[in-house]
Amino acid sequence: MARHDVVVVGAGNAGVSLAARLLRVGAKDVAIVSPDRPHLFRPLLNYVAGGQATMSELTRSTASVIPAGCT
């Protein structure tokens, strides 16, 4: 079974931000556990509702938003 110093559950805004911050302050072994589904930048949903953005603009693959150095 894989073991890590820190495991963050959820690759939403909170999980991704927390993992990035931990790595910046020197944590060496941070992992994020997340379902295999796209990351949605939720604040932009307001703009989609207002016709100023599209769903594709707020959708990213989860892998692409995981900070470098994080499992």
Ligand X SMILES: Cc1cc2nc3c(=O)[nH]c(=O)nc-3n(C[C@H](O)[C@H](O)[C@H](O)COP(=O)(O)OP(=O)(O)OC[C@H]3O[C@@H](n4cnc5c(N)ncnc54)[C@H](O)[C@@H]3O)c2cc1C
Q: Which residues bind ligand X (CB under 6 A)?
A: 9-15, 33-35, 42-43, 45-46
φ/ψ bin of 10: left (φ > 0), alpha (ψ from -120 to 50), beta (otherwise): left
Residue nearest to ligand X (CB): 12
Q: Give min distance, CB of 20 to ligand X, in A.
A: 12
Shortest distance, CB of residue 40 to ligand X, whole angstroms?
A: 7
Name the minimum Å distance from CB 59 to ligand X.
Answer: 12
Q: Which regions of the chain does DSSP assign to beta strands (E)?
A: 6-9, 30-33, 39-40, 59-60
Q: Measure the CA–CA gap between 51 and 64, rounded to whole angstroms.
A: 25
Task: For ligand X, give the closer residue by CB, 3 or 37.
Answer: 37
